[in-house]
Structure 1
Amino acid sequence: MKYRFVLLLFSATPLLSYGQTTALDSKVAQVKDSVVAWRRHLHQNPELSNREYHTAAFVAARLQQLGLEVKTGVGKTGVVALLKGGKPGPVVALRADMDALPVKERASIPFKSVDSAEYLGQKVPVMHACGHDSHVAILLGTATVLSSMQKDLHGTIKFIFQPAEEGPPGDEEGGAPLMIKEGVMDNPKVDAIFGLHINSQTPVGTIKYKSGAVMASSDWFSVQVKGKQSHGSQPWSGIDPVVVAAQIIQGFQTIVSRQAELTKAPVVITVGKIHSGVRNNIIPEDLLMEGTIRTLDGAMQKQVHEKMQLTATKIAEASGATANFSVTTKTEVTYNNPELVKRMLPSLEAAAGKDHVKESDWTTGAEDFSFFGDKAPAFFFFLGGMPLDQDPAKAAAHHTPDFYIDDSKLDVGVKTFCQLVIDYAAKAGK
């Protein structure tokens, strides 16, 4: 159940006075060059999900230098640090994900990744093609700034450096669910959690946010179709699972176009992989298709699962074949607590400038940050990293070889995290 209750009522204006804001600006400015340097080091040394050994060691060493209480090995390679403020108050968590992707980088930059690693038994190139290196650097910068303000802070700040946001390999556990399972949102119990994601198609330094559902759930599904093998010249003597699969794929798309209430929330069903057959003149006996489902409403998510099950089995049955449909939920809908968003929006505007904070539409991308929202009110937003002279329509998307981030405004992310922590904790501590 997502947290949707009303939080304690307090002023919706940033708490910091002019002098305090100036001091925060100065501290953020002092760490800016380090944040960029950290990001570029991590970019040049990427690691895949559940294999973030160097990254975790890099993070832990810097947190220990700040004198924080540091715990490593959380959720396999995760790092968690506590900063206890000098004044009483709530526990506020900040999260950054650390893993990279099996993508070969094409960008011509001095810190380009040329690394490779093993992924599911294959040697693959590795690249930070989603900007998680930026997230880690921003959170390290935030920890540095807030540590220097420790005696004036209300409550406790929990810094969560999470592995495997892109999904653990194979049958391994990992990511936010494993960290939560191991108690990351407890001891001490988190009262609110904030997260951000860099975006390659949003102008650098601009923040985008949305109240309520902001990112889709991500389900992985498979359909195993079983027909009857025959010679390709005599299809009537067999049952063709390829033709059955084609009809099932079409049927899935009519769930989107004719059965889902799209005025309520969007739905995406994508078949991304099909495997069947060994020879061009043999109708095979079996076929396996796999894909992903994206929804932005929990009830619709369940309904889509049921309709896909019915569609696959009945279409197969009509042709004399059988179909076994299975689905695994990888992430839930990322849900921003509306009351938390309303109260903390002035903090975003104070950090980035009101003209640089924009309300956005929801996205069918997915994030396992969603699971943290089951444990405490959550607020997840986006920070722009696209060069100002670039056309958003031409900017390379995430998870692609040409993905590129302008890291000149990572300090905006640092200041925003700091502003959120200070404002939320100090107000709640009064």
Structure 2
Amino acid sequence: MPARTGRCCNERFAGARPMNDRLDPQHAAADLIEEAARQVEGRVLAWRRDLHAHPELGNREFRTAGIVADHLRRLGFDEVRTGVAHTGVVGLLKGALPGPVVALRADMDGLPVTEEVDLPFASKVRTQWNGEEVGVMHACGHDCHVAILMGVAEVLAGLRATLRGQVKFIFQPAEEMPPDGEDGGAKMMIAEGALEKPTPRVIFGLHVTSRLNVGEIGYRPGPTMASSDRFRITVRGRQTHGAAPWLGVDPIVVSSQIVLGLQTIVSRGQDITREPAVVTVGMIRGGNRENIIPDEVMMKGTIRTFDEGMRDDIHEQMTDIAEGIAKGNRAGCQVCINKNYPVTYNDPALTAQMVPTLQRVAGDEHVHEVPKVTGAEDFSYYQQLIPGLFFFVGSTEKGLDPAKAPSNHSPRYKVDEASLSLGVRALAHVAWDWLATH
């Protein structure tokens, strides 16, 4: 019977150790983190559901920020700054023992998506976004990120008597981009001092993902998520009656040719055996009546790359192709490309150092090096200043094929809430282990 009981303990959480190993202070601390994480599970779940039912868009996370700030103050944080980059919250927890500073980050904003998941706490929120009425949903899992980091704050605050150094908690708005005409996100958080007084030596973050089953953790050293650029192409023709197109210049036809032409950039103009790349037109707008050829068509889209040289070359090719097609059709064309997020780059040495911690938390067989992700993250701005590790926590129910599950940003994206507990444990352990070894 005692042997069987021991196996059950090992199954309950990965990384259980023989009793004689637990005499080591670091092992003892790991067990305390596990126990504290179990105790906070119910509250993390409640926070996530409340946040999911009340999502807020970028730079408008007033309710969310208030909940976070109140929580950190109740935990006795040494410092709680609010209003950073509009609605950001930065909390500082000082351990009783000397040591360096580590930062942990969670993003808070939802998306202009109308939820289609049948949940008792599904979002019913509607609001204005860039002049349009939209539904609002935590379709990317940022509600989970906030709840997880609130849980980590409670776990580490309860262990501050044996905590080395300081932990800076960064709750960031507008990761999904601020409204048009506004600044925001990680870049603005940095500009307003989120990484100062004190300056962290490293930063950790995570993202729940439909691409992995619950219980799985994914990571990758080096380039992990793509850079993200926005483009707008405006084609100017000459308006005329739809029954007499020869009397004008049809910008709709020209725009259609440009969309097709852009597809050759990646398929024929880039060496994708070296790095992947994506050029996507996500919106076209022009005309207001079926029998009128309009003066103008506007299209918008995104560019994803992992290499700065390819990034610049794609920008140049896009301009040449769009302007060339327009000129050949006697239309005008304006191409505007804005660089947004850099490549999310996981410091290789830091990643190698922390993978054993992730393996101890989730189990060796559940921690995998994953392929590059063409999604983008403004966590990359922090990584440009200090070494960082950004990893993925599976959120698709066990037994379901992640490749067929509704993806992040889908109105049908559904989180298996068992991922929350793993997120709390993983983030708490990597912070503690890094501080303990530095």
Counterpart among 205, 208, 217 of residue 198 in structure 1: 208
- 1:323 is matched with 333
User: Is 2:23 the counterpart of 1:44?
Assistant: no
1:89 Cα deviation from its structure 2 partner: 2.0
User: Is 2:39 the counterpart of 1:30?
Assistant: yes
Which residues of 2 match residues 12-31 of structure 1 at below 5 A?
A: 17-31=26-40
Post-superposition Cα deviations, 1:8-40, rounded to whole Å, max 9, x if no partner, equal xxxxxxx96433322221111111111111111
Which residues of 2 match residues 217-236 of structure 1 at below 5 A?
A: 217-236=227-246
Contact 1:205–1:410, Cα closer than 8 Å, also in 2? no
- 1:8 is matched with none
Which residues of 2 match residues 378-417 of structure 1 at below 5 A?
A: 378-417=388-427
Say which is worse superposed, 389-398 or 374-383, in terms of deviation. 389-398
Distance 1:262 1:46, change over 3 A: same
Amino acid at match of 2:259: I
Post-superposition Cα deviations, 1:324-343, rounded to whole Å, max 9, x if no partner, equal 10011221111111111111
Aligned to 1:278, the other structure's residue is in SS state coil
Counterpart among 120, 125, 140 of residue 115 in structure 1: 125
Contact 1:385–1:409, Cα closer than 8 Å, also in 2? yes
Distance in 2, matches of 1:215 and 1:337, equals 13
- 1:189 is matched with 199
- 1:106 is matched with 116
Counterpart among 67, 70, 76 of residue 76 in structure 2: 67
Q: Unmatched 5+ residue regions in structure 1? A: 1-14
Percent of pairs with identical residues: 48
User: Is 2:285 the counterpart of 1:275?
Assistant: yes
TM-score scaled by length of structure 2: 0.91
Amino acid at match of 2:62: Y
Distance in 2, matches of 1:173 and 1:226, equals 29
Contact 1:215–1:363, Cα closer than 8 Å, also in 2? yes
Post-superposition Cα deviations, 1:365-407, rounded to whole Å, max 9, x if no partner, equal 1111111111111110100111112222331111122111011
Q: How many residues align?
A: 414
- 1:265 is matched with 275
Which residues of 2 match residues 118-267 of structure 1 at below 5 A?
A: 118-267=128-277
Distance in 2, matches of 1:113 and 1:79, equals 23
Amino acid at match of 1:352: A
1:200 Cα deviation from its structure 2 partner: 2.2
Distance in 1, matches of 2:111 and 2:134, equals 9
Aligned to 1:363, the other structure's residue is in SS state coil
Distance in 2, matches of 1:290 and 1:317, equals 20
Contact 2:26–2:436, Cα closer than 8 Å, also in 1? no
Q: Unmatched 5+ residue regions in structure 2? A: 1-23
1:110 Cα deviation from its structure 2 partner: 2.0
Aligned to 1:128, the other structure's residue is in SS state coil
User: Is 2:364 the counterpart of 1:354?
Assistant: yes
Post-superposition Cα deviations, 1:276-296, rounded to whole Å, max 9, x if no partner, equal 223333333222111111112
- 2:297 is matched with 287
Distance in 2, matches of 1:17 and 1:164, equals 36
Find runs of 4+ consecutive structure 1 residues off by over 6 angstroms.
Answer: none
Say which is worse superposed, 169-178 or 407-416, in terms of deviation. 407-416
Whose relative contact order is higher, 1 or 2, with alpha carbons under 8 Å and at least 6 apart? 1
Contact 2:228–2:342, Cα closer than 8 Å, also in 1? yes
